[in-house]
Every structure is written in C-alpha cells, then in structure tokens.
C-alpha cells in the first residue's frame, strides 16, 4: 500500500493543479493537504506531456524544480514560518534575470547569457517561498518577432506576444502563476488570446531592476493567473520600491489580495468605452460586449473618450521606438543581420525620431490621464476589449495590440478577464481599466465581474 501512496498523491496534485486557482493551491500547501513536491511533480508531468506541442518554455530543469520543492517541504516540516507563495511554482518570462540560470531575451545575440544576480522580482519570489519552475518563451527582445510558442487552445493560432510563453504555460496548466512584461500589450493581449487572467499594474508599481529594458517610460511588469485572486496574490508579493528603479516610489504595502477578496461596498459600476481603433474589433467581440453591458443594466453606462485620445497610439509608438533605439543600440550595432525584420525596422524608425517629437510625446500621459479623471469619478472601472477578438490563425504575427497601448501609455492598471468565448470556441478577453494607483480596487472589481459572469 505504501508504494501506491505517492502516485495517488501526485495524481491528486495534478488534478488540483489543473482545476484550482493559485489561492486555493496556496491554502492546501499551507495546511499540508498538498506537498510542494507533489504540486511541482504535477507541473513537471504536464510540461513533459505538452511542451513539444505548445513550446512555452525557454529553459526548464525538472531536477532543479524538484530540489527547490523538497527544500520547501523540509522547511515547513521543521515548523518554520512559511511565505505567501510557499511551494507555488512560478514561470518567469525570459527577459527577467535569474542568477546562474540562462536569460536569453528571446534573441540569438544573447544565446548562452547567464546572469550572476537575480532581478528584484526573482528575489521577492524566492523570499516568498515560490518554486522557480523555469523561464518562459518571449518574442525577440520582447518586441514583435514571434516566439515559437503556440496557443494551447488551438496550436495553429498565435498565443500573442511578447509574454507568449507565460500566458500559454498558465493556460495549459503547466504552472499556476507566471510573470511577464508589457510595453504595448504584452500582458493583456496574450492573456486574452490564451484565456487566462492577465494583470498589468500601474506604471512603477513593480521594480524592473534586472529586467531587459526596452522603454523606460513604458515597460511594466505584469502577472498571469487562472483568476483575479491568483493575480492579486502574485502581484502582492512583487509590488515595492527599489532605489535602482526611479519609476518606483516609497509606499505602504498595497494589500492587493486582501482588497481583491473583499466584498465591494456597493455593486461596481462600469464605463463602457469604445477606444480608438474600435473599427478593428471583431463583430462578435462588439456583440459580446454589447450583451455584457445590457446584462449589467444600471451598473454600466456608455461613454466616449475625448477626440484627443485618437493621437495616443502615435505618441506611445514614438516613445517606445525612440527609447528602444537607445536601449537596444548594441544589438543593432553588433548583429543587426541576426535580428528579425520587425526588430530591425523598429530600430531604424526609432533612430530617425527627432528629439523634439520624443520630448513632446512624453507630455501625453499627463494630458490623457486628466481626461480619464472625469470618467473614473463616475465608475469603478472602464470596460473595453482586451484584444480585437479571439487569437488569429497563423503564427507569423503576435496579433494587434490596438486596445492595449493606450493604457500602457497612461500607466493605468488593466486586467484581462477570460469571460467570453468566440464562435470557434477560442477565448476572448474583456479588459478592465482603473485609475493610476487604483490597483487594489481594480482587482476587487475584476474579481466581482469574474464571479458574476461565472454564476
């Protein structure tokens, strides 16, 4: 009988990992109902079964993951206090430095690169008791040249970019939590295409030390989970201040999970927005959002963004490419021929941007956030598409970030919720946006909507 116990426990762990959210898994790990090793083994088994098809991982070492899990089990067995992520496996986008573990930025020019120091977020994860399961695939230098990752719901469709591997790994049940980054739409769009919750916090909420810098004015670290509570659990650990990242500031702990799990004092109100680029939305996305708005009744009202918002995309692109040309100069100088066409063209465009145009573009977030202030005084969150529709067929593109870049430019928090389904069975994401700094309230509203649709 004893010989049969371990396989039985691991079978149960596999089932739990596939059906339970990260918070429920955390609770089972903390109580001892589930061991760190059994959960890690379930993730390893899923990767072994599906990785050849999905291609979510740039680096994964099963023995390294097991060693971490065993150490965490021994730590708990000794009666020592455990961290908020104790035993939870986490995937890291391969632009996030990990000491003595390859971090190759999805780029041939960085092949074999092994950092000597963990990024800030990796230090936080280790302190919280997470198992670093591996590094997830990213597009080249976190830009638009597609990674090898496929959408787990339909292997011939894009998973999005640039955090493709992180979204796909969570969607396929390979890992309960993952970390990504967004400069345009690289958290929200793959979350929408892969059918998971993606959370892009307010700009500067999570320090970026040790993370590949594409655009210092836009780059934001985000998280992936099965549901909004899982996203809040992971982000809660990562929020903080780092003197080496000037975008961060000293602030008290955000208590994201506590706020997200609390009942709203009153039923949330949503502002239904048709953002710039609305003509690009798939008809079934438009219809689904109209139906959702009608179902919400008095809790939803339509609002038009001021005309000035139509210029936001050009301003964001100007900032992104000018800063990318500066930060990626060595890649273009030392090996431009090895870069994908999308990256080369972006660097060329960035090098041609005039200083006056770049400096003028930097003024736009303040202008746009002033316009959003009036809307946020009337609602808990803006509701709009996370992507034009379901994941497009084909792997030659990462999809259109038309509905994401505006919120990245404004630095506002955004969440993609997997609550809609297209006619072909693929997921479609609804995006909720909150005011800058209102991350906890946004996650609470997202949890409410997620559960309301599920009831």
> How much is the average pLDDT of 328-351?
94
**For residue 12, what pLDDT band results from cuts at 50, 70 and 90?**
low
Q: What is the DSSP track for 280-335?
A: GS-HHHHHHHHHHHHHHGGGEEEEPPPGGGGGHHHHHHHHHHHHHHHHTHHHHHHH
Structure token pair of residue 433: 């946006």
Query: What's the whole-number mean pLDDT along residues 68-92?
Result: 97
140 burial via Cβ count (<10 Å: 0-12, 13-18, 19+)? buried
Radius of gyration of the chain (CA): 21
Mean pLDDT check: name the lowest of 1-15, 185-199, 332-346: 1-15
pLDDT for residue 350 is more than 90: yes
So where are the chain's domains?
312-361
**Which runs of E-coded beta strand occur in 40-130?**
57-59, 89-93
In 3D space, the residue among 242, 217, 214, 237 whose CA is nearest the CA of residue 225 turns out to be 237
% of the chain beyond a pLDDT of 70: 96
Which two three-digit tokens encode residue 191?
A: 């979350």
Distance, in Å, from the CA atom of 372 to the CA atom of 169, rounded to the nearest integer, reads 34
Distance CA 130, CA 294 (A): 41
Q: Which tens digits make up the pLDDT trace of 178-235?
A: 999 999 999 999 999 999 999 999 999 999 999 999 999 999 999 999 999 999 999 9
Question: Whose structure tokens read 């971490």?
Answer: 68
CA-based nearest residue to 187, from 445, 451, 363, 433 = 433
Q: Tens digits of per-residue pLDDT, 277-329?
A: 999 999 999 999 999 999 999 999 999 999 999 999 999 999 999 999 999 99
Is 93 catalytic? The answer is yes
| Residue 186 annotated among the catalytic residues of the structure | yes
- Residue 92: strand pairing partners: 135, 179
What are the structure tokens assigned to 309, written together? 């918002």
Catalytic member of 93, 135, 166, 416: 93
| Closest C-alpha to 385, from 246, 291, 232, 274 | 274
Q: What is the pTM of this model?
A: 0.96
Residue 2's pLDDT band (boundaries 50, 70, 90)? very low
pLDDT at residue 256, as a whole number: 98
CB 108 within 8 A of CB 127: no
pLDDT in tens, 14-41: 566 567 999 999 999 999 999 999 999 9
Instruction: Tell me the two tokens of residue 168.
Output: 């796909």
DSSP 240: -
The answer to whether residue 135 is catalytic is: no
Q: Give the β-pairing of 300-303 and 270-273.
A: parallel
Catalytic residue among 35, 163, 166, 186: 186
Pairing verdict, β 414-421 and 427-433: antiparallel
pLDDT of 377-391, one tens digit each? 999 999 999 999 999
Instruction: Summarize pLDDT for 85-141 with one digit per residue, the tens.
Output: 999 999 999 999 999 999 999 999 999 999 999 999 999 999 999 999 999 999 999
- 13 pLDDT above the threshold of 80: no
- Selecting among 162, 163, 217, 416, the annotated active-site residue is 162
């Amino acid at each position: 009988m004893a010989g049969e116990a371990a396989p039985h426990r691991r079978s149960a762990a596999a089932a739990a990992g596939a059906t339970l959210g990260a918070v429920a898994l955390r609770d089972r790990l903390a109580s001892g109902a589930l061991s760190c090793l059994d959960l890690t083994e379930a993730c390893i088994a899923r990767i072994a079964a599906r990785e050849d098809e999905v291609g979510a991982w740039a680096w994964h070492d099963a023995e390294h993951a097991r060693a971490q899990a065993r150490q965490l089990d021994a730590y708990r067995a000794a009666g020592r206090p455990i961290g908020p992520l104790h035993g939870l496996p986490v995937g890291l986008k391969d632009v996030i430095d990990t000491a003595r573990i390859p971090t190759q930025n999805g780029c041939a020019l960085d092949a074999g690169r092994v950092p000597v120091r963990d990024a800030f977020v990796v230090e936080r994860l280790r302190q919280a008791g997470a198992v670093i399961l591996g590094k997830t695939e990213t597009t080249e230098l976190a830009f638009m040249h597609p990674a090898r990752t496929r959408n787990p719901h339909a292997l011939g469709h894009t998973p999005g970019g640039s955090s493709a591997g992180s979204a796909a790994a969570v969607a396929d049940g390979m890992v309960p939590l993952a970390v990504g980054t967004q400069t345009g739409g690289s958290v929200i769009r793959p979350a929408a295409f892969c059918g998971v919750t993606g959370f892009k916090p307010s700009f500067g909420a999570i320090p970026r030390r040790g993370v590949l810098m594409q655009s210092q004015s836009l780059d934001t670290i985000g998280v992936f989970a099965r549901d909004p509570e899982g996203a809040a659990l992971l982000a809660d650990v990562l929020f903080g201040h780092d003197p080496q990242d000037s975008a961060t500031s000293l602030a008290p702990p955000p208590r994201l999970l506590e706020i997200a799990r609390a009942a709203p004092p009153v039923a949330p109100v949503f502002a239904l927005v048709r953002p710039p680029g609305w003509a690009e939305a798939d008809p079934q996305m438009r219809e689904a959002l109209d139906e959702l708005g009608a179902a919400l009744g008095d809790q939803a009202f339509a609002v038009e963004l001021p005309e000035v918002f139509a210029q936001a995309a050009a301003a964001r692109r100007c900032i992104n490419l000018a800063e990318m040309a500066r930060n990626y100069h060595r890649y273009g100088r030392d090996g431009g021929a090895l870069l994908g066409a999308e990256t080369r063209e972006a660097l060329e465009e960035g090098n041609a941007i005039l200083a006056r145009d770049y400096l003028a573009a930097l003024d736009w977030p303040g202008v746009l956030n002033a316009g959003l202030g009036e809307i946020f005084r009337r609602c808990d969150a803006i509701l709009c598409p996370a992507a034009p529709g379901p994941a497009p067929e084909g792997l030659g593109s990462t999809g259109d970030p038309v509905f994401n870049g505006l919120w990245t430019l404004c630095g506002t928090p955004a969440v993609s919720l997997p609550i809609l389904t297209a006619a072909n069975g693929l997921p479609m994401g609804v995006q909720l946006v909150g005011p800058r700094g209102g991350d906890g309230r946004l996650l609470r509203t997202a949890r409410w909507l997620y559960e309301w649709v599920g009831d």
